[in-house]
Amino acid sequence: MLNSDILVLISHRAQQRSNSPLDCADQVCYNIGGVVPLKIKKLKAALSRADFYSRSAKGSHTVWRHSAYPEIRVTLSGKDGDDAQQYQIDDVRAALSKVGKEL
C-alpha cells in the first residue's frame, strides 16, 4: 500500500466518523503511519465537557461525579499521557450515556 493510498483510506474513515468528544470509539485514532491509542486525557476532557467534576484519590486515581446525578461515579487511573484501557473507555461511555451525552 502506498502512502497516498493510506491517506485516502484515513480521510475516508475520518469522514465516516461523527464529530463527538471521543470519535475514537474502538480505542484507536487513525494516524499516518500507524494507530495511536486513546489517552486518559481525552477521557477526562469528555467527562469535563459533560459537566462531571473530579476529585483526587490515592495515587494517580481520580473520581469523577456529575453534579446533577451524584450517584454516577467514574474512577480513572493513570496519568494524562497514559493509554486508556478498554474498561475505562466502557466506564466513561456508560456514565455519559446515563446523563444523555455520547462519546
Residue spans of the domains in the chain: they are 3-98
- Tell me, what's the pLDDT at 55? 96
The Cβ of residue 49 has, within 10 Å, a number of other Cβ atoms equal to 12
Question: 34-87: per-residue pLDDT in tens?
Answer: 678 899 999 999 999 999 999 999 999 999 999 999 999 999 999 999 999 999
- Tell me, what's the pLDDT at 99? 94
pTM of the predicted model as reported, rounded to 2 decimal places: 0.68
Options 3.30.920.30, 3.50.50.60, 3.40.50.1980, 3.10.450.50; CATH of 3-98: 3.30.920.30
- Greater pLDDT, 51 or 23: 51
